[in-house]
Chains A and B, each alone.
Chain A
Amino acid sequence: MEKHSIVESVLDNLPVAVFAKDATDSFRFVLWNKKQEEVTTLRAGKAIGKNDYDLFSQESADYFRSVDKAVIQRGSLMKVPEEIIETKNGREVHLRTVKIPVHDEETGRLLVVGISEDITEQVKSREQLERLNRHLVQANEELQRTQLQLIQAEKLESIGRLAAGVAHEVKNPLALLLLGVDYLSQGIDPGDPNVATILTQMRDAVDRADRIVRGLVDFSSQRALTREATQLDRVVDEVLLLVKHELTRSNVKVSVRIEKDLPIVFLDMSKFEQVLINLIINAVHAMSGAESKQLKIRARAETLEGVVRNEGARTRELFRSGDRVVVLEILDNGTGIAPADAGRLFDPFFTTKPTGLGTGLGLSVARRIVELHGGLLILENRGKEPGAVARLLLPTKIETGKVRTVAQPGKIDEPSKKVDTKTKKLAP
């Protein structure tokens, strides 16, 4: 008796949980010390005489039993570096356990004795550390990405400056040429029909050169956007007005479906109009051989899911799962995209159109403008149906930081009082 109570009080004062199960009696618990009570929140009185299935979940009990059996079978000590038990109040306790087979010579019983150390705090701080480390890695990656973007932006800026300089120098002689053509056009010799043709071609040539130069500058321009809160349906209406002539002339039927109450987007109106015009004109060109030409414009709001796993690198940089975006699609039933061209569509000067019809700058400019808006532009085949779809993803919250880094400060909210860009669009 004396001996027994000494052992018991030693066991109860150990800083580790100790228990024993009788393998010869359905693995019923025969020993359950104080620390084991604490860890499991189960009193010894409740546990002694019960087995794992009486006390723990089926899943946990299965696991404990399999380890116990292995210990008996091997007849030697086994270490379980980490096991988790869930207490009655739902708390998870992490344990490091050693299980030892003990043969009680006196009674002939075979016992599994377990000694568990509560390592919950250690695990918690390890997880914390891992989390911190992940954040650090992420921050570092972001930093590297930003640096790359900056280098890219710098390159573009010097190209931009060069392009703007060249543009200015080229536009002056073009201006002179055009005025010459204007003057000569008035005094055409009615006897020679070739003169009129020549002058028209000269005018077209000037116009083409001008467009290319402007496209180049647009492409490399790092200028600030003048963004304002905009309702997408209004932009679409305005753009359709601008291309109406082109659409009716080419016999294109248009259907517009824009979800009600779309979130506000932040757009530089004139630049964004340029994007939509480029995309619509491309669609019209692609449909030139189609029997009934159908242009569809669709817009809806979407919450992105699974971005990280499913999309390309571009999406990953711009959007995260859970982001609310506005998706605008321009669908045509034209030729679609040949697989061989798919990778090059957005390259500057890539065009499949005859000289004079395409500069090959439309898509690259459009993508740049969209990306300056923090958005994404994709062009792909519709899949089931013939034709292509241009898909625009626009963020619904403005990321001022992102915009301002490439922009000159103080330009974003400035109302566009100064120059009426619309004068350019007036037809003569």
Chain B
Amino acid sequence: MARKILLVDDEAGFTELLKMNLERAGGYEVRIENDSTKALAAVRSFMPDAILLDVVMPGMDGGDVQAQLQANPLLARIPIVMLTALVDSTELSEGAVAQAGSQMVLPKPVNLPLLLRVLDDILPAETAA
């Protein structure tokens, strides 16, 4: 069974290319959501194994999306990897990710091999292909 990844980022080009890369890496089923306000609905319908979430987005930002997910016990357990173009990780702590529990933060430009390793780490073994 392929691991299901939801990609939430307002940059369509970025999400498209990341999807291509993940699919070619193999074992991933990737869905894209470029509109963060629809992210919650996308999570409900797709029920991903992990979410890759941009931090700075128009409308709802990554922190808002995460807070909504956290509020729902059914969705709260889905691991989130934050992707951010914010330069310094200390910046993250102030806004979006301050209250976050144990999720990962990866800087953009994304180091693909590192991302694949992180996904391997956080996805439960039984859902792996």
Residues in chain A within 8 A of chain B (CB atoms):
164, 167-169, 171-172, 174-180, 182-183, 186, 206, 210, 213-214, 217-218, 221, 223-224, 226, 408, 418-421, 423-424, 426, 428
Contact = CB atoms under 8 A, between A and B. Distances in A.
A175 B89 contact: no
A176 B54 CA distance: 13
Contacts of A213: 87
Contact of B56 (A168, A420, A428): A168
A224 B87 CA distance: 15
26 contacts: A168-B56, A171-B87, A171-B108, A172-B85, A175-B14, A175-B108, A176-B11, A176-B14, A176-B17, A177-B109, A179-B18, A179-B20, A179-B21, A179-B109, A182-B112, A183-B21, A213-B87, A217-B87, A223-B88, A226-B90, A418-B92, A418-B97, A419-B90, A423-B104, A424-B89, A428-B113
Interface in B84-120: 85-94, 97-98, 100, 104-114, 117-118
Nearest to A167: B87
A221 B17 contact: no
A20 B107 CA distance: 93
Given A174-B109, A223-B90, A182 B85 contact: no
Given A172-B85, A223-B90, A180 B17 contact: yes
A408 B107 CA distance: 23
Contacts of B104: 420, 423
A311 to B, nearest CB: 32
Contacts of B107: 171, 424
A423 B110 contact: no
A267 to B, nearest CB: 15
Given A171-B85, A176-B17, A177-B109, A423 B11 contact: no
B14 A419 contact: no
B109 A217 contact: no
Residue of B20, B106, B108, B110 with most chain A CB atoms under a 10 A cut-off? B108
Given A168-B86, A178-B109, A182-B112, A419 B92 contact: yes
Contacts of B89: 419, 421, 424
Nearest to A180: B17
B13 interface: yes
Nearest to A170: B85
B122 to A, nearest CB: 12
A134 to B, nearest CB: 42
Given A164-B87, A421-B89, A428-B114, A171 B109 contact: yes
Q: What are the 4 A-B residue pairs with the smallest beta carbon separation, nearest first?
A: A428-B113, A171-B85, A179-B17, A175-B108
Contacts of B13: 176
B21 A182 contact: yes
Given A172-B108, A418-B100, A221 B88 contact: yes
Contact of B14 (A169, A179, A223, A424): A179
A210 B113 contact: no
A175 B109 contact: yes
Contacts of B93: 418-419
Nearest to B56: A168
Given A179-B18, A179-B21, A423 B87 contact: no
Contact of B20 (A175, A183, A221, A420): A183
Interface string B1-45: 000000000010110011011001000000000000000000000
Interface centre among A168, A174, A421 (most CB of B within 10 A): A168
A217 B56 CA distance: 17
B92 A168 contact: no
Given A418-B98, A426-B114, A210 B88 contact: no
B81 to A, nearest CB: 10
A74 to B, nearest CB: 79
A426 B106 CA distance: 11
Nearest to B97: A418
Contacts of A423: 104-106, 114, 118
Contacts of A419: 89-90, 92-93, 97, 105
B28 to A, nearest CB: 14
A387 B108 CA distance: 38
Given A164-B87, A179-B18, 15 more contacts: A171-B107, A172-B108, A175-B11, A175-B14, A175-B110, A178-B110, A178-B112, A179-B20, A183-B24, A206-B109, A223-B88, A226-B90, A419-B105, A423-B106, A428-B111
